[in-house]
Amino acid sequence: MYIQQLIDKGFPIKSVLKDSIIYEPGMKPRFVYFIKSGEIRMVTVSEEGKEFIQGVFKSGQYFGEPALLVNRPYLAFTIANKNSELIALGRDDFFKLLKSDSDFSMDLIKVLSNRLFYKSMMLEELANEKAEHRLETIINYLFTDLAKGDSLNVTRQDLADMTGLRVETVIRGVKLLADKGLILLHKGKIIKK
């Protein structure tokens, strides 16, 4: 955890309210954001207003580095899913941290690798697989770290926004997966088998 170090060094904690936008596509990147508490979603929005969830970041994680590192305008929105506390680290401080702390740069490399893994997996799904397969893949991915009997706390709409499908298609697809015994449903909640 690098957040505590940053707090100790006196970086200010910024509170953001649920649903507020931290940055938008087209903006020039100036900060990397560390999450002290709360949850942030990163989404791109099509011209017709449809959201695609590029990632969700939780307490202890950070976001916004790639744009800063390659010095290109953001392509996504980042929006607070809940009231959250962030520490915004400016470009120079971020590069300083990267250079001075090789553990941090190793951590960043692994974080970026993990995100690449997720995106490669989803690209294959969106490019080649149909609704049911996509849903099975994303649900299994979300199941990692959950125990049997645990339920996912994501809505059908969330799954739609992660898979490029529409809610109705997700609802029907999830039902098919349940019929096939791959998942359990209880009051609409998706439960790990």
Partner DNA sequence: TCTTAAATATGATACAGATCATAATTATTC
Partner DNA sequence: GAATAATTATGATCTGTATCATATTTAAGA
Residues making contact with a second copy (CB under 8 A): 44, 46, 48, 50, 52, 54, 65-67, 69-70, 72, 75-76, 98-99, 102, 105-106, 108-110, 112-117, 119-124, 126-129, 163-164
Question: Of 95, 40, 103, 41, which is closest to residue 69 (Cα–Cα)?
Answer: 95
Nearer to a second copy, 4 or 144 (CB): 144
- Amino acid present at 27: M
Phi, psi at residue 89, to the nearest 5°?
A: -105, 120
Name which of DNA, a second copy, none residue 157 binds, using a CB cut-off of 5 to 8 Å depending on partner kind.
DNA
**Residue 185 contact partner, candidates DNA, a second copy, none, CB within 5 to 8 A by sort of partner:** DNA
Site string for DNA, 129-168 (x = CB under 7 A): -xxx----------------------xxx------xxxxx
Residues 62 and 65: their CA atoms lie apart, in Å, by: 8
Q: Does 82 bind DNA (CB under 7 A)?
A: no
Cβ distance to a second copy smaller for residue 51 or 85? 51
Name the site residues for DNA (rule: CB under 7 A).
48, 130-132, 155-157, 164-169, 171-172, 174-175, 185, 187-189
